[in-house]
Structure 1
Amino acid sequence: MTLPVPTRVRAMAQRRQAAITLSVSAAAVVVVGLAGLFGGYRINLTPSEPLGVWRIVPLNRSPGVGDLVFICPPDTAATRVARARGYLRAGLCPGHFAPLIKSVVAVAGQRVEIAAEVTVDRRLVRASAVAEKDGEGRPLTRFTGGVVPRGEVFLHSSFAGSFDSRYFGPVPALGILGLARQVLTYAP
């Protein structure tokens, strides 16, 4: 059965309008994505920090305790296992990791001890309980502790399920992309 001419014309016009709308939407997503990438904006989709739009602000000094930073995790055996398990996302950092948003809780020369919780220079780090297993029951290997080496930082997130330096140890400060600043976020 063939459609009457006015119905066919209307259907063709609707398909054309849908194609135009889809094309314009796709172009807008690409433009916004590129503007965000080159403007230092990132979207956080992990619960370690509030969900939403963040901005990378240049860090024109050495990182310090309390800094909330965007950092590229190093390409190590531990981070490759973490990505395979789904703890880390794929992205544009070396090793094809996405940047992390974490707080610096220790810098070079500070002593980190890992037990049931984390202490830095004998001071307890808030919300730093160390898990034995992940959410799927797989064992987690924890960092053994020690003095943070020169040029490295120890990272933490107060989110209980965060994959941070409690498990992979200190990381090179050269991986810091900048300070993390909330732009438009939502904390559930």
Structure 2
Amino acid sequence: MTAQQRGAIVVLSMATVAAILLVMTAVAGGYRINLTPSEPLGLWRIIPLHRPAAVGDLLFICPPGTAAMRAARARGYLRSGFCPSGVAPLIKIVIAVAGQHVEIGASVSVDGRRVSSSSLALRDGKGRPLTPIPSGIVPPGYVFLHSAFPGSYDSRYFGPVPASGILGLAQEVFTYVP
């Protein structure tokens, strides 16, 4: 091995270590990269939430390991990640909290008020059937999530999720909408 090759290996090794340290620091600091179109693509930060979630909060939340979430993962709706269920956290807005009535029809209504951009899809982008959840009251300790993106997989299809999965508020850092 020549001195030039050894030098290149040292430089590459140092760059690799620096990249790993940068990623570890970003994750420890609550930074995440969003690669799904449900919210703008790019760099986001998780801000600790020191109060119960409220309607209008944009959250990072770990979905539970339910059968619906396993099916969503198998269909490719959810990416692998560090949540206990093995998927990446979702970025969704809270549209209903415990005690609120969610009506699922052609679109979603909460306590009689229609939620904008909440039309239901009968099929996903690959033509597979989607089944909306039944209407009902959000149970204690749960939140109902939504994204205005037309192809979003959210509580319209998987139902309310435990508030215990909330990681924090989602704050855009450097994002763009394609």
Q: Normalized against structure 1, the TM-score is what?
A: 0.91
Instruction: Give a deviation string over 1:107-159, Cα, whole Å, max 9, x none.
Output: 00110011111110111111111111110011112111100001100000001
| 1:3 match | none
| 1:166 match | 156
Structure 2 residue 115 is matched with structure 1 residue 125 = yes
CA distance in 2, matches of 1:52, 1:31: 20
User: Percent same amino acid at aligned positions?
Assistant: 62
CA distance in 2, matches of 1:21, 1:85: 41
One-letter amino acid matched to 1:187 = V
| 2:60 match | 70
The two structures, once aligned, show a CA RMSD in angstroms of 1.3
One-letter amino acid matched to 1:55 = R
CA distance in 1, matches of 2:139, 2:41: 32
Q: Offset of 1:17 from its aligned partner?
A: 4.1
CA distance in 2, matches of 1:137, 1:22: 45
CA distance in 2, matches of 1:114, 1:36: 39
| 1:48 match | 38
| 2:75 match | 85
One-letter amino acid matched to 2:164 = L
Q: Offset of 1:37 from its aligned partner?
A: 1.3
Q: 2:9 aligns with which of 6, 19, 25?
A: 19
CA distance in 1, matches of 2:7, 2:132: 55
Q: 2:128 aligns with which of 123, 126, 138?
A: 138
One-letter amino acid matched to 2:107 = E
- Residue 104 of structure 1 aligns to a residue whose secondary structure is strand
Q: Normalized against structure 2, the TM-score is what?
A: 0.95
| 1:108 match | 98
| 1:29 match | 19
